[in-house]
Every structure is written in structure tokens, then in C-alpha cells.
């Protein structure tokens, strides 16, 4: 009797296990079977991301040649006193000051020169008085000569005295002019309009050689280095866009091309005047782009282009709202746009956030972004 009960219980257990396995593998009549993991999403599948789309824009972009170079002063003048050995009594400008031609920059001690000039003026006055006296004597001698009361020798002596006195007056006048020039040289003035780029003179020191350096006219230029094959593509007057440290920029215009090529490096120099210097300073390094013409370009916002594994991609939105990753080539960059190659003009691509999408994802597209 007990053996029969045990057999019945064992049969029930086996039946329960079989039913459980059947339900686990086949499902119940009221519940649909689970879809395979790699099954295609249905039209009603939940979108991975809400995106905006843009289409490539075609425009005329400038063709450029890139070059590296330095910003320098167009011309830099050394300014110093023409007289050496005098003490500096006053310095009126500092580095960075803008000055005008003839503006006083520094004064030198002038006491000794003032005394010498005063002495020369006194000597000139004495010589002029002597000249007046001998001229009066000559006139009296002529009158006496006409009356027969003076000899020919006296007449010659009177005329010689006048000539000698005139020579002394001229000598004193020349000496006075020299003293006045020396006195004026105690004033150090700007030889041209410009900006003070360096100052070495200090009050109390003895003036020797250069006291200031002046960037003439405040003009700066960029000297870019280009390969000899590229030099022939550039003409004077071409626009140059400079990229400076810190993300700032400047604009220039080609003034002249160097007449020679370096035989060692096979490169030449391009000289460009800075028309809009911005934050540019002499001595800065700058990467320049020289315009050499116009060329049609297809572009997208930089936010639409993603970089993966060293290649550039965009996410193309298909008609069924799925995205397809497409590899592209990129070229020039202007502002926030980048030149792209390999896309049809009417291709809709994700405007931003493409890096968060995977190939085949479903997206929800809202109104298209403005180019």
C-alpha cells in the first residue's frame, strides 16, 4: 500500500516539472512568446533620442594657403641723444605710449651749454659793435680822402678793418648757431609717429647711445614662411587671416613677396601689413591663411560631425526615422562650420548629439535646425 502511494507522488512530481518546462519554453496561451534579442524594432518602438536635422549648405568659400610666421614691427627706430655724456634730467614717456613726431621724450642737463651759448651771444654782440665802429671809421676816412686830408694807405687800413670785423661777426654767428644746435640736442624728441616699444634711459643716469625704441607709425607686419611652389600662387593685396595664441585673430594684407628663396629650406617669406591688429603684438607667433581665390564648398555645423577612431562621421536620418552612420571627409573650417565631402545636397543629418547615437537607432525628429 505504501509503495503504491510513493509511486503516485513521484508521478505527480514528474508531471509538475514537465508542465513547468513547457510553460517556460512555449509560453502560456494568454502571453505572447518573447521576441528574439536581434529582432527588428517595430514602427512603434521607443525613440532613443529627440533630434533636429540639418542639410548640407553650399556656398563660395575662400581658397587659402596656410603658413606659419611671426609678427614683427614694420620698422623700429633707435632713439637716443646726439650728445653723449650728459645727465638725464627728465623722462616723459614709457613703454607702450603712443607718440607724435617731434614730441619731447626726455631732457638732458643743459646748464653748461646754456652758459656757453650766453658767452657766444656776448661775443657776437662785441663783434657787431666793433663792426659798427670800423664801418663808421671807414666812412670818415672816405670823406677825408675826398677832401685830400687822408692817404691811400689809411683808406686801405679802414677797409681792411671793416672786412676783418665782418668776418668776426660771421664767426660768432656760426658759433652761436652751433651752440644753439647743441642746446636743442638736450631735448630728445620722437623722429616719427609711433609706439614706444622699449626704454633704457632713467633719470639721473648718463645718456649713452639708445634711450628708446620706436615702432614707426605703430605698424606691425606678419612674415609668413611658404614653400617655393606656393609663392607663385600669392599676389600682393591678398587678404591674410591670422590665428593668434589664446584664440584671438587678426587680419592683414600682403604687401610684398620676398625676392629670394632660401636655398637650404626652399621657402620664401610673405610680408603682410596688419590692417586689424586686434591683440597682436610684435614677437608673437601666428598661423596665417592667405586667400588665393574662391571655391564652392558644402558645409555643415561642426556640431553635426563626430570623430570616431580617427575618422569623421555624421548620422544620416532615414525615412523610417532610423539613423545610419556615414563616414565623410572634412576640409576647411570657417567659423562654426566645416567643409564636408561625400554627402548628397538633400541629405538630412543629425544637427547635434550624433555621438550619443548608434547605427540603427530610432530617433524622434523635431523641426529642422537652421543652417
Q: What is the pLDDT of residues 42-100, one digit of tens each?
A: 445 566 688 889 988 888 777 888 899 999 999 999 999 988 889 999 999 999 999 99
Asked if 363 and 357 touch (Cβ cutoff 8 Å), the reply is yes
What's the pLDDT score for residue 292?
A: 86
Q: What percent of the chain has pLDDT over 70?
A: 86
What's the pLDDT score for residue 285?
A: 93
Q: Which secondary-structure segment (H or E) carries 341?
A: strand 337-341
Tell me whether residue 320 is in a domain.
yes
- 198 bridge partner residues: 213
Please determine, for residue 10, whether its predicted confidence score (pLDDT) is greater than 60: no
Tell me whether residue 190 is in a domain.
yes
Q: Note whether 247 and 198 are same-domain residues.
A: no
d(C-alpha 153, C-alpha 44), whole Å: 137
Q: How many domains does the chain have?
A: 4
CATH code at position 353: 2.40.420.20
Q: Note whether 276 and 227 are same-domain residues.
A: yes
CA neighbor of 68 nearest in space, from 249, 286, 252, 280: 286
CATH code at position 281: 2.40.30.170
Residues 6 or more apart whose Cβ sits within 8 Å of residue 241: 64, 249, 251, 288, 289, 291
CA dihedral over 124, 130, 134, 136, signed as positive or negative: positive
Tell me whether residue 370 is in a domain.
no
What's the pLDDT score for residue 20?
A: 46
Q: Note whether 189 and 239 are same-domain residues.
A: no
The boundaries of the domain holding residue 91 are: 78-213
Question: If DSSP codes are grouped into helix, strand and coil, which group holds residue 28?
Answer: coil
What Cα–Cα distance (Å) separates residue 363 from each residue in 41, 300, 351, 353, 371? 12, 20, 12, 11, 20
Question: If DSSP codes are grouped into helix, strand and coil, which group holds residue 290?
Answer: strand
Q: Note whether 262 and 161 are same-domain residues.
A: no
- Per the structure block, which three cell numbers stand in for 211? 634711450
Q: Which secondary-structure segment (H or E) carries 170?
A: helix 152-184
Q: Note whether 187 and 240 are same-domain residues.
A: no
Q: What is the pLDDT of residues 235-292, one digit of tens each?
A: 999 999 999 988 889 999 999 999 999 999 999 999 999 999 888 999 999 999 898 8
**H and E: helices and strands count for the chain:** 4, 21
Last residue of a domain, one of 172, 196, 213: 213
CATH code at position 147: 2.40.50.100
Asked if 210 and 200 touch (Cβ cutoff 8 Å), the reply is yes
Burial class (CB in 10 A: 0-12, 13-18, 19+), 24: exposed
What's the pLDDT score for residue 370?
A: 65
Q: Note whether 282 and 308 are same-domain residues.
A: no
Amino acid at each position: 500500500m505504501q509503495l503504491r502511494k510513493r509511486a503516485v507522488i513521484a508521478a505527480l512530481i514528474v508531471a509538475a516539472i514537465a508542465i513547468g518546462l513547457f510553460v517556460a519554453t512555449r509560453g502560456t496561451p494568454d502571453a505572447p512568446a518573447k521576441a528574439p534579442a536581434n529582432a527588428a524594432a517595430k514602427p512603434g518602438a521607443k525613440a532613443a533620442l529627440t533630434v533636429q536635422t540639418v542639410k548640407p549648405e553650399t556656398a563660395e568659400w575662400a581658397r587659402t594657403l596656410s603658413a606659419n610666421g611671426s609678427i614683427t614691427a614694420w620698422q623700429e627706430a633707435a632713439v637716443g641723444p646726439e650728445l653723449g655724456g650728459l645727465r638725464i634730467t627728465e623722462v616723459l614717456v614709457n613703454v607702450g605710449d603712443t607718440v607724435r613726431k617731434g614730441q619731447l621724450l626726455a631732457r638732458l642737463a643743459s646748464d653748461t651749454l646754456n652758459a656757453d651759448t650766453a658767452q657766444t651771444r656776448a661775443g657776437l654782440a662785441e663783434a657787431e659793435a666793433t663792426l659798427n665802429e670800423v664801418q663808421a671809421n671807414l666812412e670818415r676816412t672816405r670823406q677825408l680822402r675826398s677832401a685830400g686830408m687822408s692817404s691811400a694807405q689809411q683808406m686801405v687800413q679802414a677797409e681792411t678793418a671793416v672786412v676783418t670785423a665782418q668776418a668776426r661777426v660771421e664767426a660768432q654767428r656760426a658759433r652761436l648757431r652751433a651752440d644753439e644746435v647743441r642746446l636743442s640736442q638736450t631735448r630728445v624728441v620722437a623722429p616719427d609717429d609711433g609706439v614706444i616699444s622699449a626704454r633704457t634711459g632713467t633719470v639721473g643716469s648718463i645718456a649713452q647711445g639708445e634711450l628708446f625704441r620706436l615702432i614707426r607709425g605703430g605698424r606691425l607686419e606678419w612674415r609668413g614662411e611658404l614653400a617655393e611652389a606656393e609663392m607663385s600662387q600669392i599676389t600682393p593685396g591678398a587678404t591674410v587671416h591670422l590665428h593668434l595664441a589664446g584664440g584671438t585673430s587678426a587680419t592683414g594684407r600682403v604687401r610684398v613677396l620676398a625676392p629670394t628663396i632660401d636655398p637650404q629650406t626652399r621657402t620664401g617669406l610673405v610680408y603682410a601689413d596688419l590692417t586689424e591688429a586686434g591683440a597682436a603684438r610684435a614677437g608673437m607667433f601666428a598661423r596665417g591663411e592667405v586667400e588665393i581665390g574662391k571655391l564652392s564648398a558644402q558645409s555643415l555645423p561642426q556640431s553635426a560631425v563626430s570623430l570616431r577612431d580617427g575618422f569623421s562621421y555624421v548620422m544620416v536620418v532615414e525615412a523610417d526615422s532610423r539613423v545610419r552612420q556615414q563616414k565623410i571627409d572634412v576640409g576647411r573650417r570657417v567659423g562654426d562650420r566645416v567643409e564636408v565631402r561625400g554627402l548628397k545636397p538633400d541629405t538630412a543629418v543629425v544637427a547635434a548629439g550624433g555621438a550619443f547615437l548608434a547605427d540603427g537607432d530610432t530617433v524622434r525628429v523635431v523641426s529642422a535646425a537652421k543652417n
